[in-house]
Structure 1
Amino acid sequence: MALGDSFVRVAGTVLAILKTRFELISIEVEEEWTRLLAYLLLSLAGLFCLALTILLAVILIIVLCWESYRIPAMIGLIVFFGLVTLGIAIGVKRSFARKPKMLALTCQEIAKDIDRLTS
């Protein structure tokens, strides 16, 4: 019976470890989702305000330069906004490259569990 009891205890321990790890996965996924949603909402609000600001600034510049420099003013604005867009795209790409790997803590804990169980 001692062998059967040991097996039951080991199985119970393994199931408890799995339950804990799945709870950790659930928490990490939920945190990542919440963070992503917050980024999205803040980005949309910021983009809306930025779009209104840019639209009004462009209209003002074109109205001020209408008589003598309307074509150069429009070309300058196109180039400027193209460069700004390129800068934003590069910044977003770098930000995603530095983002921590999803479920990294869970993977570390599972690796520790495997090490403990095999030694």
Structure 2
Amino acid sequence: MAVVDNFAKVASTVLAILKTRCELAAIELEEEWIRLLAYLLLSLSALFCLALTVLLAVILIIVLCWDTYRIAAIVGLMVFFGAIACVIAIGVRRSFSRKPKLFELTRQEIAKDIDRLTPSA
């Protein structure tokens, strides 16, 4: 019976390890999905600001032949929305370059498990 008890303990430990690693993988996958959604929303915001910049540039070209006092306001708005688009794009790029690899923590934990379970030579 001792062999059966030891086997049951080992099997229980291995199953607990697998359960923990699967939960960690699920958490990492959820974090990656949230990060991707944030990138999408920020990118759409940047594209919206860029579209406003282009629209205002077209209006500026039209107004250049018109009154002189409206130009400063349009240029100011173009610079404002263009700067917002640049800041958002730089933030998304920086955040994307700093993000951890997919399932990095899970891979590290599995590597630790393998090292612990492998007998030393």
Q: CA deviation at 1:62?
A: 5.0
Query: Percent sequence identity over matched residues?
Result: 76
Q: CA deviation at 1:47?
A: 1.3
Where does the alignment leave 5 or more consecutive residues of structure 1 unmatched? 67-87
- Which structure exhibits the higher relative contact order, with contacts defined as CA atoms closer than 8 Å and separated by 6 or more residues? 1
Aligned-CA RMSD value:
2.4
TM-score (normalizing by structure 2): 0.67
How many residue pairs match? The answer is 95
- Asked if residue 24 in structure 1 is aligned to residue 61 in structure 2, the reply is no
Where does the alignment leave 5 or more consecutive residues of structure 2 unmatched? 67-88
- Alpha-carbon separation, structure 2, partners of 1:96 and 1:34: 13
**Corresponding residue number in structure 1 for 2:51:** 51
TM-score (normalizing by structure 1): 0.68
Q: CA deviation at 1:53?
A: 2.1
Relative distance call for 1:112 and 1:65 in structure 2 (3 A) is farther
Q: CA deviation at 1:96?
A: 5.3
Relative distance call for 1:65 and 1:101 in structure 2 (3 A) is farther
